[in-house]
A = this chain, B = another copy of it.
Amino acid sequence: MTFTESEITARLADYVVSSRPGDLPDSVGQEALRSLFNIIGCTIGGARHDIVDRADMSLGPFSGPLQATLFARGRKSDILHASLINCLASSVYSFDDTHAQAVVHPAGPIAAAVLAFAEMRPVAGAELLAAFALGVELECRLCKGISVPPAKGSMAWSGTGVTAGFGAAAAIAKLMRLDITGMRRAMGIALAQAAGLRAMHGTMMTPMMPAQAGQSGLRAALLAERGFTGGQTALEGRYGFLSVFCETPDLDAIAGGLGSRFEILRNTYKPYPCGIVIHPIIDACLQLRREKGIVANDIAHVAIQASAGTMALCNNRNPQDEMQAHVSLHHWTAVAFIRGTARIQDLDTETAVKDPALMAFQNRVEATLNPAIASDSAVVTLTMADGSVHECRIEHGIGSASNPMSNADLERKFVDLCEPVIGAARTRELVVKTWGVADLSDAGELARAAA
């Protein structure tokens, strides 16, 4: 700690405002690109989901001029509505990204905001990518700084909901080239709207909270640009954000090492469309099935040793619908053994969640807490009908920080998500354009290619 709490908002604002092209290390640029690439695939993959349809039908009738693309929905809307709908699509399958330490899914709200804004006011691809990286960085830092156990807030708040608006406001204010006063105003206005409760877990509001956060960040920057004031010290001021969202915020996590430590480097991308703490279990099941030639019908019992986080969030047998299935380790264990997959198709309420074979298999699955197991690890032990036993231990699940998705993995995921929605040819075009975003003279091309 080399600074006082009173300098926090100013430090962060100054860092974002004074950051120049080229200031971000190559590794940060690369991770920003991977984060953006992953979330664009998720956005198109979720674009025609029923939840997105409902939100667009509910709120679309009040949207404005046709400024920005609703990804893969065949129409445009104003940038505020587009940022909401595109972010909602990006997180509707719980297939997005995770900064595990900060407990945040960072890219969706920032990406949706900057991509919509770039269609209204053209910016170069490199500039968009840098603003996106800075927004994600601030969001992850703030969320990490308030995710301090045993603060009640570390579980009760939706981390993405309460911090994504701050990150999105910073990213948009950067694209607007606001000065430090404007940047601090944008941050304050966004923080005054920080919201999101984890009581929404398993409802349609789970993906809506990040969407509303990103939209509110965009709105905050638009207000700040017109001189709207929202305090200069909204993080640390009396009755400010930090005082109400956390007992003892980790100030160093929030504002220490700016420009040298980058939280975006710890962002990870989901290989499966469900709660990240289920992922190592799926890895173990698929590996057993593949390597031992296991047939589901021959399994008598599945014993799972799981982490505390897995047990707290995802020990839910017999989910009743898609949103509940996102957080049921029993569902995904059944899917892995019976279908040998873990895809968005395996979330469908009628054909998967209520599939009698999958439902029945869940009764053979039992998870128990093993406190020695980390959240990216799992041990799965099978007892077969013939009495034989097979075991698989996963140390670091695919897609975790210690076993990251490669660029090829990300591209496969992108193609799997996009092809059913926009076809092979346009998917190919978008893959190339997205990997090459830093070379685009007009970043708006990206959204238009995703129309």
Contacts and interface: CB of A to CB of B under 8 A. Distances in A.
Interface stretch (A38-46, A59-67, A90-98, A373-381): A59-67
A67 B63 CA distance: 12
A244 to B, nearest CB: 5
A340 interface: no
A156 B226 contact: no
Q: How many copies does the complex hold?
A: 2
Greatest chain B CB density within 10 A among A67, A155, A230 is at A230
B228 A209 contact: no
Given A58-B225, A61-B64, A156-B243, A189 B201 contact: no
Interface in A189-208: 189, 191-201, 203-205, 208
Nearest to A153: B244
B204 A197 contact: no
Contacts of A244: 152-153, 156-157, 197
Nearest to A80: B62
Given A78-B64, A239-B155, A231 B58 contact: no
Contacts of A239: 155-156, 197-199, 201
Contacts of A222: 58-59, 62
Given A54-B223, A59-B219, A192-B197, A230 B243 contact: no
Contacts of A292: none
Contact of A65 (B62, B203, B227, B241): B62
A200 B231 contact: yes
A205 B231 contact: yes
A188 interface: yes
A65 to B, nearest CB: 7
A233 interface: yes
A161 interface: yes
Contacts of A240: 197, 199
A372 interface: no
A230 B212 contact: no
A79 interface: yes
B193 A212 contact: yes
Contacts of A192: 158, 161, 195-197, 199-200, 205, 208-209
B228 A204 contact: yes
Interface string A174-197: 000000000000001101111111
A55 interface: yes
A53 to B, nearest CB: 9
Contacts of A79: 62
15 contacts: A54-B223, A58-B219, A58-B222, A59-B222, A61-B65, A62-B64, A62-B78, A157-B244, A188-B199, A189-B208, A192-B196, A199-B237, A203-B230, A208-B223, A229-B323
A81 B57 CA distance: 17
Nearest to A53: B226
A227 B195 contact: no
A20 interface: no
A231 B203 contact: yes
A228 B62 contact: no
A168 to B, nearest CB: 15
Given A161-B192, A205-B188, A199 B62 contact: no
Contacts of A302: none
Interface string A332-372: 00000000000000000000000000000000000000000
Given A197-B234, A208-B228, 14 more contacts: A58-B222, A59-B222, A61-B64, A61-B65, A62-B64, A62-B67, A63-B64, A161-B192, A192-B195, A192-B209, A200-B231, A204-B229, A205-B230, A205-B231
A71 to B, nearest CB: 18
A199 B55 contact: no
B234 A199 contact: yes
Contacts of A201: 239
Contacts of A231: 199-200, 203, 205
A157 B230 CA distance: 15
